[in-house]
Amino acid sequence: MPHVIVLDQLSPQGLELLAADPRIEFDVRTGLAGDELREALTHYDGALCRSGVKITADVLEGNQRLKAIVRAGVGTDNIDGQAATRQGIVVMNTPAGNTVSTAEHAIALMLALSRNVAPAYQSLLEGRWDRKKFTGAQLAGKTLGIVGLGRIGQAVAARAIAFQMRVLGYDPYLARQRAAELGIELIDSVDAMLPEVDYLTVHTPLSEQTRGLIGKKELEIIKPGARLINCARGGIYDEEALAAGLKSGVLAGVALDVYPVEPCTKSPLFGMPGVLCTPHLGASTDEAQTQVAVEGVNLLIDFLTTGNIRHAVNVSPLDAQTLENLSGYLDVAYRLGLLMAQLDTAPAKACRMQYRGDIADKDTTLLSASFACGLLEHALDIKPNIVNASLLLNERGIELVENKQKGKGPFASVIRAELQTADGYNQATGTLFGHNMPRLVQLGENQLEAFLDGILMVFFHRDIPGIIGAVGSIFGRHKINIAQMAVGRAARGAEAVGVLNLDDIPSEEAMAEVHNHPAIHHAVIIQLPAAGQLPAWLQRRT
């Protein structure tokens, strides 16, 4: 039964869902870090977190069990995505559950800044009735600039428009037409927007492009008296520059919900007039926390029990039905990878996958990933799966290209894998008989029909009479039973190949006798999974 660990505080509704599901077990272990976290994660199949726990590369290193991490929330910056991908761990998030709450928080900060809500209340607490000092500004008729027009940016725009604000937006990934439908004037750059804005709010991830997006240089062109809000990620604004901007009067106010380092107890802005800060409360509403927890739990349970991958940030979405429908050919591709890796053990340089027939219409990237899993299976400490296979190939500089041919050949569908190694070039073609019987139908130029399971001896020889008998009597003398046999050749009397399925691995002496046969150039033992045995990542979970 899959075991789940909850690493941060999760809303009670999320925990109730976990408790009510008989298909999983779970533990709540919050506050873990470093070695303790690393050790804990080795005992679980899935993890649920918010932004508190830091899941670093060190913490994931060597983990052979964890299959998925679900972030109840949007930002996955507390999880090392690259390290998770490398370990074959799916990282998912709940992108929409806290959109409205965060947009409302940005609007709340804008209003509170404009009407001096926090300092006015503080002055009352201090026994003063100071109406003049706290004269504010109204939002209606003012211009709001929004950088990042995704879910939250758009929700903020809708609310600002309801407040009768003019909304300018910058987002390189939003079409002008869509922006216009939303009532947003799309601007070509942040710099072009700055001289016009009374308020600026950012709703992008923190990235190389957005780090320090607003700093000293930008404050030189911003409209004097502007108010800045950040409910996205700390680091998008340069806090030192904002403090200087407030001091010089260029900025009338700054409201922050997020900080470069969190928890944050020290900032050049804390205590300055015109500053309003909250401790990362954008998504902290009962509604948002319930939604992200429930959605996160459902995502994780669904993945662990059926294989469905939704809202993953490091792998394409994959539904259990697609996996199920493709499982026969995924198995063929995987076995071809295992075969090629053992046929020629010289370092692989490049692979070319060709899909012909009906299979060419399917998601062939999954099939290529499955081939890569087989190819790398015995080469690495890390267990390859369809999440990490492409990355692992890439890291080794092994190029994989795909080619699709719609027209059918002798089979409804075939997968042809070509592998270039430091020593040469091999190709093998496989197909599926029925739903789950992988077959090898071509090796090099030789056509044949061999079972792709169990222990195989593949031997290349001259096409002369007596070879099969000679090999059969060697194995007979060494008490190795031959379960199946296939031979293939391109033409009569040319080079040929034989594939024997054996019940046991032949001894070195038996193999030496095979190698000594004058017509056999090369013989190799290949070990494949037994018939019907699928790799762990392809096994049905329910």
Residues found near ligand NAD in the complex (CB under 6 A): 74-75, 95, 98-99, 102, 147-153, 170-173, 203-205, 207, 209-210, 231-233, 257-258, 280, 282-283
Contact stretch for ligand MLT (CB under 6 A) within 34-42, 72-80, 161-169, 507-515: 72-80
Determine if the peptide bond prior to 535 is cis (ω within 30°): no
283 binds ligand MLT (CB under 6 A): yes
74 binds ligand MLT (CB under 6 A): yes
Q: b/e map of 361-398 (b: 16 or more CB within 10 Å)?
A: ebbbebbbbbbbbbbbbeeeebebbbbbbbbbbeeeeb
Residue number with the shortest CB distance to ligand MLT?
A: 73
75 binds ligand MLT (CB under 6 A): yes
Region of 164 on the Ramachandran plot (φ > 0 left; ψ -120 to 50 alpha; else beta): left
Q: Which lies closer to ligand MLT via its Cβ, residue 98 or residue 314? A: 98
Residue among 11, 51, 116, 364 that touches ligand MLT (CB under 6 A): 51
210 binds ligand MLT (CB under 6 A): no
Q: How far is the CB of 202 from ligand NAD (least distance, A)?
A: 8
Among ligand MLT, ligand NAD, none, partner that 212 touches (CB below 5 to 8 angstroms by kind): none
Residue 186, strand partner residues = 169
Encoding tokens for residue 139?
């939002």
CA dist., res. 193 & res. 197, Å (int): 7
81 binds ligand MLT (CB under 6 A): no
50 binds ligand MLT (CB under 6 A): yes
CA dist., res. 432 & res. 456, Å (int): 18
Q: Which lies closer to ligand NAD via its Cβ, residue 167 or residue 231? A: 231
Cα atoms in the 13 Å half-sphere on the side-chain side of 117 = 11
Q: Which of 285, 245, 292 is nearest to 269 (CA)?
A: 245
161 CB neighbour count, 10 Å cutoff: 15
Among ligand MLT, ligand NAD, none, partner that 150 touches (CB below 5 to 8 angstroms by kind): ligand NAD
190 binds ligand MLT (CB under 6 A): no
Sign of CA dihedral 34, 39, 40, 42: positive
Q: How far is the CB of 74 from ligand MLT (least distance, A)?
A: 4
Q: How far is the CB of 453 from ligand NAD (least distance, A)?
A: 45
Residue number with the shortest CB distance to ligand NAD?
A: 150
Among ligand MLT, ligand NAD, none, partner that 51 touches (CB below 5 to 8 angstroms by kind): ligand MLT
Among ligand NAD, ligand MLT, none, partner that 500 touches (CB below 5 to 8 angstroms by kind): none
Q: Which of 422, 420, 338 is nearest to 372 (CA)?
A: 338
Q: How far is the CB of 209 from ligand MLT (least distance, A)?
A: 18
Q: How far is the CB of 157 from ligand NAD (least distance, A)?
A: 11
Q: How far is the CB of 79 from ligand MLT (least distance, A)?
A: 11
Q: How far is it between the farthest Cα atoms of the chain?
A: 110
Give catalytic residue positions.
Answer: 233, 262, 280
Q: How far is the CB of 298 from ligand MLT (least distance, A)?
A: 17
Contacting residues for 490 by C-beta, under 8 A, at least 6 apart = 445, 446, 447
Contact stretch for ligand MLT (CB under 6 A) within 70-78, 132-140, 172-180, 488-496: 70-78
Among ligand MLT, ligand NAD, none, partner that 201 touches (CB below 5 to 8 angstroms by kind): none
Per-residue DSSP letter, 530: P
Alpha-carbon 436 to chain mean position: 28
Q: Which of 417, 435, 413 is nearest to 361 (CA)?
A: 413
User: End-to-end CA distance of the chain, in Å?
Assistant: 10
The values of phi and psi at residue 379, to 5°, are -95, -20
Q: Which lies closer to ligand MLT via its Cβ, residue 51 or residue 87? A: 51
Work out the angle at residue 327's Cα, subtended by the Cα atoms of residues 308 and 91, and round it to the nearest 5 degrees.
30
Among ligand NAD, ligand MLT, none, partner that 205 touches (CB below 5 to 8 angstroms by kind): ligand NAD
Q: Which of 117, 157, 162, 155 is nearest to 137 (CA)?
A: 117
Q: How far is the CB of 214 from ligand MLT (least distance, A)?
A: 19
Among ligand NAD, ligand MLT, none, partner that 50 touches (CB below 5 to 8 angstroms by kind): ligand MLT
CA dist., res. 293 & res. 282, Å (int): 15
Q: How far is the CB of 232 from ligand NAD (least distance, A)?
A: 4
Q: Which lies closer to ligand NAD via its Cβ, residue 211 or residue 478? A: 211
98 binds ligand MLT (CB under 6 A): yes
Q: Which lies closer to ligand NAD via its Cβ, residue 52 or residue 472? A: 52
Sheet holding 275-277, edge to edge: 185-186, 166-170, 143-147, 199-202, 226-230, 251-256, 275-277
Q: Which lies closer to ligand MLT via its Cβ, residue 97 or residue 374? A: 97
SS (H, E, C) 101-155: HHHHHHHHHHHHHHCCHHHHHHHHHCCCCCCCCCCCCCCCCCEEEEECCCHHHHH
Q: Which lies closer to ligand NAD via its Cβ, residue 63 or residue 201? A: 201
Contact stretch for ligand MLT (CB under 6 A) within 57-65, 73-81, 442-450, 452-460: 73-81
Q: How far is the CB of 101 from ligand MLT (least distance, A)?
A: 9
Contact stretch for ligand MLT (CB under 6 A) within 67-75, 122-130, 467-475, 476-484: 67-75
- CB contact at 8 A, 307 and 541: yes
Q: Which lies closer to ligand NAD via its Cβ, residue 147 or residue 450? A: 147
CA dist., res. 88 & res. 92, Å (int): 13
CA dist., res. 438 & res. 443, Å (int): 14
Which stretches of the chain bind ligand MLT, using CB under 6 A? Answer: 50-51, 73-75, 98, 282-283
